[in-house]
């Protein structure tokens, strides 16, 4: 097995083999949380317009997402795990959720054009993702840290890539060092300053929990949609 480290949109577009698209803050921390609360499936879309078009054909869909971190007017929720958790399982049970985000979702959609398989990852499902990769033994794994808006590297994604690589047996990992760099970086301080309501201070607490779900996530094209499903590990 060969491990390749990539980042941002160019990394997603060039991913080969099994691509692991990493977005800790916040898209792919939201997706496993939604599954844990009973969501039936997630559909990934590139633009808000695509999401609205799907909802015009099925009013039962829930739209979740953001543009540059800001909730989209007309969507049911922003891209916030604490907002999701607050609503609880009764809100999401058996629902189909449409997700549109500026980084993780865009990376997953881009990687589908080049990679053999596209997994979605965060700290929450890192061990489950690694177990799936070890079980399937692909020749090549591309760990893609999507960063902020696909344009700026973000330490939470870079360190999560290192953690998954460590779980695959390829390097050492120091979680204290990871947290030191993550917590005092602007990407986390944006939440902790508590002066931007669209970036709740509770979100990093949920996003930085390691290995709390026992399933991996894979994005696949199904007819004209990109659907995310769970892989029990």
Peptide bond into 116 cis (omega under 30): no
DSSP, collapsed to helix, strand or coil, labels residue 215 as strand
Query: Going by C-beta distance under 8 Å and a sequence separation of 6 or more, which residues neighbour residue 161?
Result: 5, 20, 22, 143, 144, 145
pLDDT classification of 226: cutoffs 50, 70, 90? very high
Q: Does the pLDDT of residue 194 top 90, yes or no?
A: no
What would the two tokens of residue 173 be? Answer: 């990992």
**CA distances (Å), origin 165, targets 49, 51, 161, 175:** 36, 34, 6, 13
Helix locations, the chain, DSSP H: 8-13, 27-36, 48-57, 81-87, 89-92, 104-111, 126-136, 155-167, 175-183, 186-192, 203-207
| Bridge partners (DSSP) listed for residue 4 | 142
Cα distance between residue 28 and residue 33, in whole Å:
9
Phi, psi of 78 (to 5 degrees): -85, -170
Condensed to tens digits (0 to 9), the pLDDT of residues 27-74 reads 999 999 999 999 999 999 999 999 999 999 999 999 999 999 999 999
- Whole-angstrom CA distances from 196 to 16, 138, 151, 199 are 37, 42, 21, 6
CA distance 149 to 192: 19
Q: Is 192 helix (H, G, I), strand (E, B) or coil?
A: helix
| Residue whose tokens read 């607490």 | 205
Nearest to 64 by CA among 50, 80, 53: 80
Cα dihedral sign for 144, 118, 85, 151?
Answer: positive
User: Rounded to an integer, what distance in angstroms lies between the CA atom of residue 161 and that of residue 159?
Assistant: 5
Measured between alpha carbons, how far is 200 from 220 in angstroms, rounded to an integer?
31
Please, what are the domains in the chain? 2-232 (3.90.1560.10)
The pair of structure tokens assigned to 200 is: 């709740």
pLDDT digits (tens, 9 = 90+) for 63-119: 999 999 999 999 999 999 999 999 999 999 999 999 999 999 999 999 999 999 999
Across residues 145-158, what is the average pLDDT? 96
Q: What percent of the chain has pLDDT over 90?
A: 97
């Amino acid at each position: 097995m060969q491990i390749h480290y990539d980042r941002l949109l160019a990394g997603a577009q060039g991913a080969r083999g099994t691509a692991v698209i990493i977005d800790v803050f916040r898209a792919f921390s939201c997706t496993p949380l939604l599954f844990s609360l009973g969501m039936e499936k997630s559909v990934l879309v590139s633009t808000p317009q695509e999401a609205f078009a799907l909802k015009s054909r099925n009013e039962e869909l829930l739209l979740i997402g953001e543009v540059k971190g800001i909730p989209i007017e007309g969507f049911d929720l922003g891209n916030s795990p604490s907002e999701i958790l607050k609503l609880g399982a009764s809100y999401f049970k058996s629902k189909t959720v449409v997700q549109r985000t500026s980084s993780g979702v865009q990376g997953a959609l881009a990687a589908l054009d080049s990679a053999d398989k596209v997994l979605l990852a965060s700290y929450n499902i890192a061990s489950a993702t690694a177990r799936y990769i070890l079980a399937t033994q692909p020749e090549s794994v591309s760990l893609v840290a999507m960063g902020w808006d696909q344009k700026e590297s973000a330490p939470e994604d870079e360190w999560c890539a290192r953690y998954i690589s460590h779980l695959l047996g390829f390097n050492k990992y120091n979680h204290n060092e990871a947290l030191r760099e993550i917590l005092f970086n602007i990407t986390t301080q944006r939440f902790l300053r508590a002066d931007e309501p669209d970036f709740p201070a509770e979100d990093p607490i949920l996003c930085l929990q390691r290995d709390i779900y026992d399933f991996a996530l894979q994005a696949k094209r199904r007819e004209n949609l990109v659907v995310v499903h769970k892989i029990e590990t």
